[in-house]
Amino acid sequence: MPTAAKEKAVEELNALLSERNTVLLVGYRGLKVTDLQTLRAQLKAPGASMRIIKNTLFRLAAKGTPAEPVSEILDGPCAIVFDGEPSAAAKALTEFAKKKPALLLHGGVLDGAPLDSAGVEALSKAPTREELLSGLVAGLQGPISGLVYALHGVVSQLVYALDEIKTQKEEAA
């Protein structure tokens, strides 16, 4: 018989899963509490957060949401990672999993498409939003800088030519 607290938790989780474009699932069996605290701190940098949930509650809450296909891959104690930049959160998870092999990447959902563990690893190798924006700025800055240098060269040549004419006239006078 479901309690009011569990029903409320399912409703909150359903709303959370309906609103989020990216949800990643990880298994944390074998990790210490301090390890989980460290992981949560590392996930805060890209703006992500982690919530530990019961698998049955996740399955109930995932019904009718984009995360429904992923509920079938749950095995053992799981945590849900959401919010933030998807590739940065996946990068933080994969780096932590390299240090602590007990952390298992189960999969997730990216813009409605289900991901397996290999998909999460591939997402971690994708450039983050900041990296993409810096590449865009560098790409836009290159032609503008070239134009500035070209115009500077033309103007400096004109100045040198006028200076040479001035010295020639002074010598002739």
pLDDT at 45 over 60: yes
| pTM assigned to the model | 0.70
Classified by CATH at the fold level, domain 4-126 comes out as Alpha-Beta Plaits (3.30.70)
| pLDDT of 110 above 80 | yes
In the chain, the percentage of residues whose pLDDT exceeds 90 is: 6
88 within 8 A of 94, measured Cβ to Cβ:
no
Which pLDDT score is estimated for 86? Answer: 84
State residue 99's pLDDT score. 92
pLDDT band at 37 (very low <50, low <70, confident <90, very high): very high
Q: What is the mean pLDDT of residues 116-143?
A: 79
Cα-based distances in Å from 143 to 101, 137, 140, 148: 46, 11, 6, 9
Say if residue 1's pLDDT is above 70.
Answer: no
- Using the predicted structure, report yes or no on whether residue 73 has a pLDDT greater than 70: yes
Instruction: With beta carbons less than 8 A apart as the criterion, state whether 91 and 47 touch.
Output: no
